[in-house]
Structure 1
């Protein structure tokens, strides 16, 4: 009994001491501690990728730590002050926890394009990514450092002393960074020269710089109305009594060429399309690795060859040129919007529809896009171009992209947390969603056959591909310069009704030969103009896949 009392008192005293623990430190020390935490704890993928280029090089590791510490300390030294330190660092801890989790889980590189994808993600996509796997990262990377942060008292100083200490901090970390760079200059320069992409893995500086770039381009002051494009466009006059033409452009989502049955994939993921006589393009390449990049690019005359994001986003799109020519357009969307491509034009958002059998739990199957299609086409006279923007294969919830009857390849990955599934399960779910896209496209062709008062045609083209575990990569959005072909090679096919092919004078045998050659997103803009016989100065015959195969 006599020994229990001191132990109990000691425990009570320790608990009291813990509760009263409120160390006082300067804001500069807090910045250094936070920078060290980010550099050592939150950059696992950076360390794995950087050190894989030179395993066991201790000096390189020390140099990289010095650089990471100094870069983050410089950035925080400009942003963090006593009056905003706790709130701002709390936001950074939480945001970095999310970034670290998704980067580690999917080998994501956070550049400006990837962050734009994140910022453009709608609440439905965000909800799918909120899985139980987030709990531990949020506890370790966010909750624990935030609790410690709010226990700390920050030392008060006069403005004069504050500025002096801040200058000393910035100068000191610059010396640390410079010393670290010089200590292993040869290895560091080789790393930056041969593996420049690793800079997109340094968290949180990667997303902070990317955020600055996105805010600069999205600024209301800098953002101007889209510049007119192809205002000289004119449609070639048609013979009297000709049927109007209807072209349906289906923009696929996250379908890669490697798993496309018509391209010779080991599995027949496109059995219904194989029966339609559609013309398949097996060597098609995307303009980007994300919807945010590819969609504006593929509807632009500027394209990937002379890629200029400012020019692409600042000018009107293919749809505007068609409108200038008197061809009415319609964008039907089952995804997250047209990314500016259909700005100011007729648009229908169908992802929130409640059609029984097609929609449930706030999502719709892609067949919603052809529901009531004929009536929508006939709402305006003359030639029409209708774009159907699919939900398609958008990951990681592949299992939610197809109805139960298309669960052909098993076992499947029935969760958005891909880390809980084997690669076989992930691929099976992905292939099932392609199988449903095959059905959707076949149903679209059947619907077009039924619109007999129009000559009809369909072009299907996916926006980008997807990584399914190759080289440890998942999903998409890699910087284009280092993106694997799983993210840049996509399927494309075309179908024409007999009336459309005859009226337009398309030599289908010639087109099948052309389809065997390399093609890319840059071909879409001029090919649609050529197919719809629109004359304009922005038309490039050299990029038109129909040139030489039509009258």
Structure 2
């Protein structure tokens, strides 16, 4: 966190009137009183000038500045955006709300623009939802000295100026007429401006829809409203059942051992830095020595956890994506649980994002294991702590466990692995990536991938010791990560424009011989799918197929194991 220190300031010089009395003097006393409408216009101008250069850069890219039409377009969209955002301020501000509302808006906008500029963030509803679900630990890693300076210049100082301004007092009737005149004027200016360059503007909005999420502060305000409306509509509403018909297939009756399946949901690990995919750094030395199937061409459903996790556990997937429907319906875990297999979600991050609602969920990120945890976080090996006890509690002996990693969640990559995994050097030992070279950032990230390799190998070796169970493990990351390619860092870009670094993920499968035999899955056949394009859309149906759980929601075409059954 950052704090601003104040120090005593000498008293201001005073002017001594001839009558001997003292009168204080302030520079702000000379500022003229302003009407709320004028303040709204000034604020909108401030936002257009200081907070929207990413939007203007995207909207004006590749234009020929030797043509007058390019200059006209630039001027017109500046005027249109300023007028459009002032309309919202005309509606929201009055003499009593103007100062507190603008203060909050200035502070939040300053924070938003810092991360937009630093990491190329688009504030669509997915990103806003992701931010709202971010816990205190994650948020604290994003603070830095540069952030404090940015907040001071673009948030605190403008807010102080707002509080120093004197607002005009206008009779209600006159104030109402003035407000209506300003609103009508702003609407006319917005509409007239757009009509001047309508062809260019419509082409921009049609071909680059995502740029609207760069118009600040309208972007996050609009997206926040959408998220709040959606969450309010779903609040206290039970999940729509999809599991009622789920049941174990007849093959379960012939099995001699209970089943233990571990699904590892990774975090922010990209395929480009996965050693088994041919990456220059060997980041998967332990998995490479094990009998695993590495799916080299896997893709995610989203570019952030809030999208990918609910999506991969749903029947909809990316191919039929519907955020509202996905969040409203039960997930794969409910189907498995209803069929008679106990499910358990073990978390070292920020929860199951609704996919385990009503099922057992354990949060291990605050565990007191001194060997794996400090005062802030736990290493991912904490997810295996106490597993023996959980296996014993499983009904009918069968257990499906999800281990949700912290893994490579950025930007504090250096905190995601123990000292023994600091193999690739030099490293970036700060969350402020601007202080590090590209090589240092990549090395640090790769050390995190190396630790995920170690964690997965340890999980497999643990499953090998469970000889009284038929065991298997599937690992896939929720999404990838940008490490500076094209000037982009972290993740969360709209899927339609996200670079492959954010959508291509590692995916690995391991099965014991007992599991393969009992469930009739050919390991050799599955191995032949290693170079076949797969995605998180396959998860729901492949798990049901491999576990021989029958449901009307099962789609054989999306089951990777369908062609490999004995």
User: Is the pair's TM-score, using the shorter chain for normalization, greater than 0.5?
Assistant: yes
Of 255, 273, 286, the residue aligned with 2:300 is 286
Matches within 5 A, 1:27-176: 27-54=36-63, 56=65, 57-176=70-189
Q: Which residue of 2 aligns with 1:272?
A: 286
Q: List gaps (5 residues or longer) in structure 1.
A: 1-7
- Distance in 2, matches of 1:139 and 1:55, equals 37
Of 525, 528, 532, the residue aligned with 2:540 is 525
Q: Find out whether 1:379 has 2:393 as its counterpart.
A: yes
Query: Does the 8 Å CA contact 1:288/1:488 hold for their aligned counterparts?
Result: yes
User: By how many angstroms is 1:382 displaced?
Assistant: 2.4
User: By how many angstroms is 1:156 displaced?
Assistant: 1.8
Q: 1:19/1:164 Cα in 2 relative to 1: closer, same or farther (>3 Å)?
A: closer
User: By how many angstroms is 1:182 displaced?
Assistant: 2.8
Q: Larger deviation: 132-141 or 187-196? A: 187-196
- Distance in 2, matches of 1:168 and 1:341, equals 50
User: By how many angstroms is 1:448 displaced?
Assistant: 0.6
User: By how many angstroms is 1:220 displaced?
Assistant: 5.4
Q: Which residue of 1 aligns with 2:8?
A: none
The alignment covers a number of residue pairs equal to 544
Q: Secondary structure at the match of 1:89?
A: helix
User: By how many angstroms is 1:190 displaced?
Assistant: 2.8
Q: Larger deviation: 455-464 or 496-505? A: 496-505
Q: List gaps (5 residues or longer) in structure 2.
A: 1-12
- Distance in 1, matches of 2:26 and 2:495, equals 54
Query: Does the 8 Å CA contact 2:260/2:469 hold for their aligned counterparts?
Result: yes
User: By how many angstroms is 1:206 displaced?
Assistant: 0.2
Q: Secondary structure at the match of 1:249?
A: strand
User: By how many angstroms is 1:525 displaced?
Assistant: 0.2
- Distance in 1, matches of 2:83 and 2:236, equals 34
Query: Does the 8 Å CA contact 1:53/1:191 hold for their aligned counterparts?
Result: no
Q: Larger deviation: 434-443 or 415-424? A: 415-424
- Distance in 1, matches of 2:176 and 2:302, equals 45
Query: Does the 8 Å CA contact 2:28/2:164 hold for their aligned counterparts?
Result: no
- Distance in 2, matches of 1:342 and 1:22, equals 58
Q: Find out whether 1:191 has 2:188 as its counterpart.
A: no
- Distance in 1, matches of 2:24 and 2:478, equals 58
RMSD of the TM alignment (CA)?
Answer: 1.9
Q: Which residue of 1 aligns with 2:268?
A: 254
User: By how many angstroms is 1:230 displaced?
Assistant: 2.1
Query: Does the 8 Å CA contact 1:217/1:223 hold for their aligned counterparts?
Result: no
- Distance in 2, matches of 1:435 and 1:72, equals 47
1:88-139 per-position Cα deviation (integer Å, ceiling 9, x unaligned)? 1100000000000000000111100001111000000000001111122111
User: By how many angstroms is 1:339 displaced?
Assistant: 0.3
- Distance in 2, matches of 1:219 and 1:461, equals 31
- Distance in 2, matches of 1:228 and 1:490, equals 30
Of 331, 343, 352, the residue aligned with 1:329 is 343
Q: Find out whether 1:482 has 2:491 as its counterpart.
A: no
User: By how many angstroms is 1:11 displaced?
Assistant: 13
- Distance in 1, matches of 2:486 and 2:147, equals 23
- Distance in 1, matches of 2:202 and 2:234, equals 38
